[in-house]
Amino acid sequence: MTHKNAMNQAAMKQQNREKTMQELWIHSPISRTLLAQETGLNKATITNVIADLQSNNLITTIGTEHSKPGRSQSLIMFNKSYGLCAGVVFRPQVISLAVSDIYATILWSEEVRFTISTDPMEVIGQLVEKLKTGISSCSHVSTRLLGVGVGTASLLREGDDMLYAIHSLDWKNIPLRNILSKEFKVPIIVDTGSNNGMVGEQYFGLAKNIRNAFYLSIGYGIGGSILANGKITRGQDGFAGDVGHMTIDLNGPYCRCGKRGCWEVMASEIFLDYRPFAEYIDRANQGDKEAIKKLNLIGKNLGKGISTIISVLNPELVILGCDVTVCGNWVMNPLRSELKARVWPFVLEKTRIEYSTLGNTSNMLGTLMRVIETIFKS
């Protein structure tokens, strides 16, 4: 066998393993026969992969399934006690922490709250200590930490995972992955909150079985994630999706980044003087004209930006996630009206625009899934 053929066989074996593990995670508990059908792999390949996983205590047998008269098959699933996954999600002045099992079922959660003036290293120190406490509290499930996933509210430079800039906090050039690696000594998977939100939607939400989509995280700012042909696109340096700083009005209000008329200044909670969407929805439901007017303008401004995204990327689905999901028709109706005025009808009719059904949880779920995906590839 040539060296090239050996490499190709090794790559194929690894690909089969990843595919089997991912389908097993999605469909478990499942029989080997059905797993072969879901993956398109033959039974011999499935048997070999399963034997390897069992030898590493990654999967367990749970019950039987009667598929034909007189025949039964064992059902297999991942071993929930195999290990723990930790998640860290950055938002302005609050960091959400969670620990889950290998199925992203959250076992423990906590928050770290801080002020803009707090030193970044002090905040990260608090994060580390609280997360260690959370991991210890889940030792009844497992004492093995598989990894830490991180979702940032920052421009994230690919390659070194440097927190390049969080404008809302004035944090710049924070080597977050290096700090967490030294503390936890496990894989640290850092990505933007929006990219992790897209991953959450792929596994648990609207983006299941979708190949081309755009996810918008809309809260105290706007971030985006591009799903193209089933994969998240990050661009040359990892900055793809930073749509919050697209200019939609050259004469608009100043943004924290120094420019005028940025999309997030005119279509997020920043436009509401940093008050939560939920507060304005309550006021609008009570007939408050000022609240209704502001929500209507946010919807129109979101429509302006989304029309550009649709024209450039032609997604099948645009997901509105994070805090904005509480806004209902107060924002969605003017948004859709703006799209009708700006997007070709034959394009718009094939583009779904929907609120995330996961609300504020898609980011954390995606952050935990980034750790679980490393198990698929191990």
What are 31-45's pLDDT values in tens digits? 999 999 999 999 899
More confident residue, 173 or 324: 324
How much is the average pLDDT of 48-57? 91
DSSP 41-65: --HHHHHHHHHHHHHTT-EEEEEEE
Question: How many Å apart are CA 276 and CA 378, to the nearest integer?
Answer: 41
The pLDDT of 60-69, averaged and rounded, is 72
User: Residue range 272-288: average pLDDT?
Assistant: 97
- Identical fold at 3-78 and 84-196+363-376? no
The contacts of residue 245 (CB under 8 Å, 6+ apart) are 255, 257, 259, 262, 263, 264
Strand segments (E) across 193-250: 213-219, 221-228, 231-233
Per-residue pLDDT at 167: 54
Out of 1.20.1250.20, 3.40.50.2300, 3.30.420.40, 3.30.56.10, select the CATH number for domain 84-196+363-376.
3.30.420.40
Residue 267: Cβ within 10 Å count: 28
Per-residue pLDDT of 170-218, as tens digits, reads 677 778 888 999 999 999 999 999 999 999 999 999 999 999 999 999 9
Say how far apart CA 53 and CA 22 lie, in whole Å: 13
**Cβ neighbours for 143, distance < 8 A, ≥ 6 positions apart:** none
Which conformational region is residue 314 in: left (phi greater than 0), alpha (psi within -120 to 50 degrees), or beta? left
What are the angstrom distances between the C-alpha of 371 and each of 138, 188, 326? 17, 8, 29
Tell me the pLDDT of the chain averaged across its residues.
91
For residue 64, the cross-strand partners are: 74
What is the arithmetic mean of pLDDT over 80-95?
93
- Which token pair is 4? 């090239």
377: left (phi over 0), alpha (psi -120 to 50) or beta: alpha
In angstroms, the CA 302 to CA 242 distance is: 15
> What local confidence, expressed as pLDDT, does residue 239 receive?
83
pLDDT band at 4 (very low <50, low <70, confident <90, very high): low
Query: Where are the chain's structural domains?
Result: 3-78, 84-196+363-376, 209-357
pLDDT grade, residue 76 (50/70/90)? very high
Kindly report the number of other CB atoms within 10 A of residue 341's CB atom. 11
Q: What pLDDT, on the 0 to 100 scale, is given for residue 8?
A: 75
For the domain bounded by 3-78, which CATH number is listed?
1.10.10.10
Helix (H) or strand (E) holding 196: helix 193-204
CATH ID of 209-357, from 3.30.420.40, 3.40.640.10, 2.60.120.260, 3.90.1570.30? 3.30.420.40
For the chain, the residue count is 378
pLDDT tier for residue 318 given thresholds of 50, 70 and 90: very high
Report which listed range, 59-63, 171-175, 226-230, is most confident. Answer: 226-230
Please compute the mean of the pLDDT values over residues 51-77 and round it to a whole number. Answer: 81
How confident is the model over 7-28, as a mean pLDDT? Answer: 87
Which of the pair, 147 or 68, is modelled with greater confidence?
147
Confidence (pLDDT) at 13: 85
From residue 321, alpha-carbon distances to 180, 221, 223 in Å are 27, 12, 10
Cis bond upstream, residue 345 (ω within 30): no
Q: Higher model confidence: residue 252 or residue 73?
A: 252
Q: What is the pLDDT of residue 92?
A: 79
What confidence tier does 12 reach under pLDDT thresholds 50, 70, 90? confident
Q: How far apart are CA 326 and CA 278, in angstroms?
A: 6
Q: Is the pLDDT of residue 3 over 60?
A: no
* pTM given for the model: 0.92
The reported pLDDT for the residue numbered 312 is: 96
- Complete DSSP assignment for 242-302: -GGG-BS-TTSPBPTTS-BSBHHHHHSGGGGTT--HHHHHHHHHTT-HHHHHHHHHHHHHH
Contact 120, 58 (CB under 8 A): no
Say yes or no to pLDDT of 271 above 60: yes
- Distance (Å, whole) CA 224 – CA 218: 9
Interatomic CA distance for residues 267 and 354, integer angstroms: 16
- Of all residues in the chain, the percent with pLDDT exceeding 90 is 75
Pair 30, 76: CB distance under 8 Å? yes
Section 274-299 average pLDDT: 97
Higher pLDDT, 67 or 124: 124
Given the DSSP bridges, would you call strands 188-192 and 145-152 parallel, antiparallel or unpaired? parallel
pLDDT band of residue 162 (cuts 50, 70, 90) is: low
* pLDDT score for 156: 65
* pLDDT (tens digit per residue) in 327-361: 999 999 999 999 999 999 999 999 999 999 999 99
In sequence order, the 6+-apart residues with CB closer than 8 A to the CB of 11 are none
